[in-house]
Amino acid sequence: MSALTTIGLPVALGIIMFGLGLSLTLGDFARVLKQPKAVIIALLCQLILLPAICFGLVIAFQLPPVLAVGMMMLAASPGGTTANLYSHLFRGDIALNISLTAVNSVIAVITLPLITNFAIWYFEPFDDQLGMQWSKAAEVFAIVLLPVALGMVVRRFWPKFAAAMDKPVRIASVIILVVVIAGAVASNWALLVENFARLSIITIVFCLISLAVGYVVPRWLKVGKRQAIASSFEIGIHNATLAIVIAQTVLGSVELSLPAAVYGVLMFFIAFGFGFLIRERKGTDAGGDATREDEAEPASA
């Protein structure tokens, strides 16, 4: 393992998750109780429907076992903080989006190892690895939640410093995200070229289905349009960086990270195009939206 993998990737993700923590308060978790319908629908789509859809896709596309597990790991990853930026750009309910990101990040500590272990058990990509053991699951907890908690503590006790750091950390997060994905692509270039055709197709299909499910299901169940937009981006924009870090540093497989790396590149463009199709237009339905004093300011990208 290179220094980039063992040190650089966890540090990069830590900065991104710390930036998320700087944008969160306990009120973001409490707000879930004020709009349970939108939250429950989004979480059910995220935690149950999408992994099931992804499982069907990897079987239909007949992916090799390692890439199949990589896709399932991507499906189990929570919404990326980039989703908040897209929600802001296309007039989604940012307050709901931030709350979903917060709750999803906590739940993923449990669901991501479970879904990953199921995929490893089913597809058997490794001869000498039974799955993600509890010690590895503890690493997921440390990677995901500790930086977020630290960011929230900083915001709680040093609000001026948190406010001053918000924009620089957001910019750094975008740069780091690009570097991480580029590094993941470059580190296994031959394998990526060999599998790019099938990976690009399945990741595009999966991203489009994720975005559509996140929007159509809430609207079908009478959730407000701005909330549905927030749900769409939260469900459709997975945390590819998290999937890459877990694949390479926790499970020790660069090949496992290839689906997330390809998805991480393509989803920016797919989500942007999809946003124009569903964006909230002035004067249209905005029912059921939550409010927040800093709603106009998206969380770290």
Q: Give tens-digit pLDDT for 164-182.
A: 877 787 777 777 767 766 7
* CB atoms closer than 10 angstroms to residue 272: 12
In this model, does residue 246 exceed pLDDT 80? yes
**CB contact at 8 A, 70 and 265:** no
Residue 53 has pLDDT above 70, yes or no: yes
CA 246 vs CA 8, 60, 141, 290: distances in Å? 13, 25, 11, 33
How many other C-beta atoms are found inside a 10 Å radius of the C-beta of residue 44? Answer: 12
122 or 11, which is more confident? 122
Greater model confidence, 274 or 241: 274
**Is the confidence at residue 222, as pLDDT, over 60?**
yes
Average predicted confidence (pLDDT) for the chain = 79
**Four-CA torsion 252, 258, 260, 264, nearest 10 degrees:** 130
Q: Average pLDDT, stretch 151-155?
A: 85
Q: What is the pTM of this model?
A: 0.77
Q: What is the mean pLDDT of residues 210-217?
A: 94
Compute φ and ψ for 237, nearest 5 degrees: -110, 95
Distance (Å, rounded) from C-alpha 100 to C-alpha 6? 30
Contacts of 4 (CB under 8 A, 6+ apart): 183, 187
Q: Which two tokens stand for residue 61?
A: 């596309």
Is residue 4's pLDDT more than 90?
no
What distance in Å separates the CA atoms of residue 221 and residue 2, rounded to the nearest whole number?
48
Structural domains of the chain in order of their starting residue, each with its CATH number? 3-277 (1.20.1530.20)
Q: What is the pLDDT of residue 165?
A: 79
pLDDT at 1 over 50: no
